[in-house]
Amino acid sequence: MLKKRQLGQPILFRGFVPSAGDRSARGCRFGAVPRNRPTPDYVTGPVTRVLRIASLLGIVALTAYVLVRYPALPDVVPTHFDFRGQPDDFGSRSSLLWLAGGGLALGLLTAWLSTKPDVLNYPGEITEANAQRIYREGERMMVWVLAGLTVVYLGICLQTFAGAGSAVLVVGLVVLMGSTLAGLIRLSIADSPG
C-alpha cells in the first residue's frame, strides 16, 4: 500500500533509487534533475551549431522588426486569424509588444536549454554508458524546436504585418511537432544499449 506523501517531502524520480549515503536526491523534487548525472563532453555538430545561431538571429531580427514597426501601427490591430488567414479578432497594438517579448523570451530560453542537455528531463534513465548519446539527441531536439519556434514567430509576424503568413505558420507548427516527435524517437534509440 502506498503511503500518502507529506507536504514538502521530495518526489523521487522513477528508476532513481539513492543508496543510503547518497546525498544527490536531497531536495530532488518532481521535475528536478538528479545532481549525479554525468557531465556532457561530446562535441556539438556543425549543423546543430549553425541552426541554433541562425534561429537566434532570426528571433532577434523579428523582435527588432516588431519594435521598429510598432510606432507606425494603428491603435487597433488584428490579434487572431481564421484558417483562411482572415482576421477574426482585434485588439490593442500593445498586444504586439507581448508577442515580441514572449517570442524573444521563449527563443532565448529554448536556445539556452539546448546548450544544457544535462538539465533536461528524459524518458529513460541516464547512465555513464548512454549519457553522451542522449545529451546529443536532447540538444538536437531543442535546437530543432527553436527553429520551429522561429518559423512560427515569422508566420505570426507576416500574418500580422502583411496578411500573408498562414502557410509559414503551418510550416513552423509542423517543424515544431515533427522535431519533438523525431527527437523523442531518437532519444529512445539513443537510450538503447549499443
Tens of pLDDT along the chain (194 residues)? 445 545 554 444 444 444 444 444 444 455 566 668 888 999 999 999 999 999 999 999 999 999 999 998 888 888 777 777 777 888 888 888 998 999 999 999 999 999 999 998 888 788 888 999 999 999 999 999 999 999 999 988 888 888 777 888 889 999 999 999 999 899 888 887 76
What's the pTM? Answer: 0.78
Q: What would the grid cell of residue 168 be?
A: 509559414
Residues 6+ apart with CB under 8 A from 133: 190, 191
Nearest to 165 by CA among 80, 101, 93: 80
pLDDT number for residue 127: 87
pLDDT tens digits, 151-168: 999 988 888 888 777 888
Diameter of the chain measured on Cα atoms: 65
User: 39: which DSSP letter?
Assistant: P
Number of neighbours of residue 180 by Cβ within 10 angstroms: 15
Nearest to 88 by CA among 150, 166, 16, 143: 166
User: 184: which DSSP letter?
Assistant: H
